[in-house]
Structure 1
Amino acid sequence: MITEKNCNLKRLAELHSYSDIISPSAAIRRGMHCPLFGCSLLMQEMERTAVIILGTEECGFYSKEILKVANPRDYMKAPVYCYTLEESDIIFGCEKDLLLLIKEIEEKDRPDIIYLISTCVTSLIGEDIKGLICKAQVSANAVLLLVEADNFRQNSHVDGMSDMTAALADHMKSYKGRRQGVNLLGVREEDWKCTELGRYLTRHQIPVRAVLPGGASLDALYDAPQAELNLVVDAIGLKLAKRMETFGVPYQVFGKYADPDRIRKAYRCLEQLLQLEPDPEIERLADSTKTSWEQLRHLPAHARRVIYTNSPLIGFDTCLLLHRLGFEILACFTVSYNDFDRELFCECKASGMNPFMALLTDFNKTKELSRLLRPAYYIGRGYRERLEAMGIRMISPEDSPKENGFSLSMAMADYFLNVCADKACGDKAYAGNIRTAERRI
């Protein structure tokens, strides 16, 4: 029998800090959890940049495999290199050969930036990569940056992306003159000019100085501290924003929020910081988006029992909004530690909701919990056939717009409503869910 006692999960009320959210499984997941893979994926978005991975053959092999998934046509052209550490390197060091590799990469690819990615092996043997970079920088034309992407400190590919983005601050210069414009931090695959926020900045004639990490040219790094504000549009940019405060540049989070009131507050804060006139369009969009979400409040009670694992929106913000709309958040799995969710943890604690909380490990744990809790819907990616066999319908917005602000929030509200308001499917899912749960518990 599956019970709350043996499901090996804690509820929100039992957690004292965001870091208390842990995996219910003792096993370490293989694959995308490794910060190294986040570095490899982020390479797809960065121009005139090369990467050297210092690790085992497996580090290089799996990094190329990740690139193959992200860019199957041109992955072999990506300037990602692996310096495979041999026994002699571990005993005598790898400085001489690594300096030669840096020289060869400069001659072949002519990058502006070369990242040296330290892995578990270099951390274990205590290789002085920082000292090596100082020595290599004397003769190198490219800027050399270090990222320590090992699993001892973190267990998420998102952390690798965040650290790689934050390392850009190492080559920024202090600026004491008049500041103007904004930087966009955390921009990944989307064309920022076509997003709602990009259109807003263009409409108000706000210059964008640097778009990082994707536009990490040397000129962009030099100019970045001249901005009067950093706008953090993705969690991978938050660590860089905090480092840039030492240059005198404040930041504002402008992530993929679900809550229309939170989006409106972000715009109003932006107006104050940049001394802009209030934009009446913001109030209209906020009211329209709120109306879309409010329709979910009228769903039958059984259809408002959900397990949340993942969506394009910020996870905790989405759960908070659904909770206010009368949804019962039975469990909230976070795919990986996320700085945006971290900053909303205290608000979640004060909200009154009390879901099971955990880092997502494998589907078996979710399946056990689904049998116990009997949700109507599972929000996130999963094994659709297995969920439907238990009478649970999956809400997985795979083709969401590469957006932020009200545009994304309204699109998600409409998508949720279209799935949940399918009364026939909803009733069938709920009835089957009850029968399956009663048979198996």
Structure 2
Amino acid sequence: MYTLNVLNRLKDIAYDKDIKSLSYAVFPGTHCPLFGVVLTASYIKNMALVIVGTNECTYYSKNFAYHRQSGQDSVYSVVLKDKDIVFGAEKKVIEAVKYISEVEKFDAIMIVTTCVPELIGEDYNALSEELEELIGIPVLAVNTEHYTCNSHIIGMTRALKSLSSVMENHTNKKGVNILGHRQENVEDTELVKLLFKEGVKINCVIPSKCTIRDIKSASSAKLNIVTDMIALDLAEDMKNKFGIEYIYFDKNMKESIIMENYNKLCNILDIDVQDELLEQRQKYTLLLNKCRLLMEGKKLIYGNTPMMVFETVDFLTELGLVPEFIQVRELYEQDGLFKDNIIKKGHNPYISRIANIAPLRSLYDTINADIYIGHENPMLLKEKGLMQITLDEHAQKIGFELPIGIMETLIKLFDVEKVTRKEVI
């Protein structure tokens, strides 16, 4: 029988180790860093990914990329046999990379190693330098090491950081780079539309809209705008190597933080977007007040979404929602401010490790919440009297459009619920 008593509450969470799971058997479990690398690096045009690992690792990587890109992916597999694990697979990898470079004209190749070759101690970072000289194009090496971590985020971070080794130094700095945006159509976001309107050039969008040639010239930007924490290491690396400042403009939802980011942008780029944002700020305030009227005191379970957990929950408490149970992947450095804000407002929800939905299902009645934000079986939630919202449709948004979109979705959900209840009565 599962119980909430095995978990810590928010006030007891000081370190990542303080986040417990409801059970030792985790289901469905988190993605591994290999998934993170493929998810991120497969966006980049003219770069091949060479996955070195067992049947399972290479198959699932290829299968994911193949379906995601309708068969147009550039993911290759080097499958390790028993003898490769005993005697090493470096020769096999060299032959594979040479063959790929001869058959297809790629601008770069990324070798992605998995747990088995890493555990037996093969040095693919040194091998990548040897291969660069051999085939005449950049060869990157990214380790995934799932046995040292518990999510795919580190794979995304490492894949992006490795790209700085391809970049060439440019002294004439103009325009901006968008780092970390991993959805399509970045030109449709509020942030990029405003930059275009002010005549600011977007040099490179890493990883979702770039080629190796774009990445090579990325150091020509005056400023890096980091829209996801997975690109913070890359931005820091570019600052150290090329002196490019960066702004962390994440999926922020509070008006004060969004305006602070816009003000930083305006100061560095010598532009002014205050007038353009006036309508959005007014809409934000109107929706915030409407949400509070609809949602005050409603209890919340927070699950898996594309947003930062504590920042999103902090925003949701501004709308009147009361967090009862929060599922967390890891405790990040950026979480501190928002975690403290939630506590200061008098909330102290249970905190559980994410991706362990199976045991949680037996506790929905005990938690007795009104709304579930994140991915779960919608029919099961309905049976338990829980309204559900997923935030995936808003994941690509940057600026005021993000909280506005979330609030509009919540209002629509609660309005539909009201109508449904009236019809039932």
- Structure 2 length as normaliser, TM-score? 0.90
Secondary structure of the residue aligned to 1:413 is helix
Q: Which residue of 1 aligns with 2:268?
A: 273
d(CA) in 1 for partners of 2:355 and 2:148? 18
Q: Which residue of 2 aligns with 1:207?
A: 201
d(CA) in 2 for partners of 1:401 and 1:324? 20
Q: Deviations over 1:271-319 (max 9, x none)?
A: 12222235222233123113212211112645x2111113454332221
Q: How does 1:289-308 map to 2 (within 5 A)?
A: 289-299=284-294, 301-302=296-297, 304-308=298-302
d(CA) in 1 for partners of 2:187 and 2:301? 34
Q: Deviations over 1:409-431 (max 9, x none)?
A: 21211110111234536869xx9
Secondary structure of the residue aligned to 1:190 is coil
d(CA) in 2 for partners of 1:392 and 1:426? 14
d(CA) in 2 for partners of 1:164 and 1:208? 22
Are 1:228 and 1:249, in contact at CA under 8 Å, matched by a contact in 2? yes
d(CA) in 2 for partners of 1:328 and 1:203? 39
Q: Which residue of 1 aligns with 2:61?
A: 63
d(CA) in 1 for partners of 2:173 and 2:31? 39
Q: Deviations over 1:157-207 (max 9, x none)?
A: 2332221111101222344x3422111101223211221111111111112
Identical-pair percentage:
28
Q: Which residue of 1 aligns with 2:355?
A: 361
Residue from 270, 283, 288 that aligns with 1:288: 283
d(CA) in 2 for partners of 1:178 and 1:136? 31
Are 1:12 and 1:349, in contact at CA under 8 Å, matched by a contact in 2? no
- The alignment status of 1:245 with 2:239, answered yes or no, reads yes
- The alignment status of 1:4 with 2:7, answered yes or no, reads no
Are 1:258 and 1:409, in contact at CA under 8 Å, matched by a contact in 2? yes
Query: Matched residue pairs, number?
Result: 419
- The alignment status of 1:372 with 2:370, answered yes or no, reads no
Are 1:331 and 1:356, in contact at CA under 8 Å, matched by a contact in 2? yes
Q: Deviations over 1:224-256 (max 9, x none)?
A: 222221101123222211222212112112222
Q: Deviations over 1:363-395 (max 9, x none)?
A: 223323422220011111101111111111212
d(CA) in 2 for partners of 1:2 and 1:362? 12
Judged with a 3 Å threshold, the aligned counterparts in structure 2 of structure 1 residues 2 and 151 are, in CA distance, closer, same or farther, namely closer
What 5-or-longer segments of structure 1 have no aligned partner?
Answer: 432-441
Q: Which residue of 2 aligns with 1:160?
A: 155
Are 1:309 and 1:381, in contact at CA under 8 Å, matched by a contact in 2? yes
Q: How does 1:216-231 map to 2 (within 5 A)?
A: 216-231=210-225
Are 2:22 and 2:356, in contact at CA under 8 Å, matched by a contact in 1? no
How far 1:3 moved relative to its partner? Answer: 4.9
Are 1:3 and 1:372, in contact at CA under 8 Å, matched by a contact in 2? no
d(CA) in 2 for partners of 1:379 and 1:203? 35
Letter in 2 for 1:357: I
d(CA) in 2 for partners of 1:300 and 1:135? 60
Secondary structure of the residue aligned to 2:146 is coil
How far 1:142 moved relative to its partner? Answer: 2.2
How far 1:19 moved relative to its partner? Answer: 5.6
How far 1:214 moved relative to its partner? Answer: 3.1
Secondary structure of the residue aligned to 2:250 is coil
How far 1:69 moved relative to its partner? Answer: 4.4
Residue from 168, 173, 183 that aligns with 2:168: 173
Judged with a 3 Å threshold, the aligned counterparts in structure 2 of structure 1 residues 4 and 314 are, in CA distance, closer, same or farther, namely closer
Residue from 20, 40, 48 that aligns with 2:38: 40
How far 1:27 moved relative to its partner? Answer: 3.0
Letter in 1 for 2:164: A
Deviates more, 1:314-323 or 1:25-34: 25-34
What 5-or-longer segments of structure 2 have no aligned partner?
Answer: none
Are 1:185 and 1:213, in contact at CA under 8 Å, matched by a contact in 2? yes
Secondary structure of the residue aligned to 1:185 is strand
d(CA) in 2 for partners of 1:229 and 1:37? 29
Secondary structure of the residue aligned to 1:138 is helix
Are 2:2 and 2:359, in contact at CA under 8 Å, matched by a contact in 1? no
- Structure 1 length as normaliser, TM-score? 0.87
Q: How does 1:184-195 map to 2 (within 5 A)?
A: 184-195=178-189
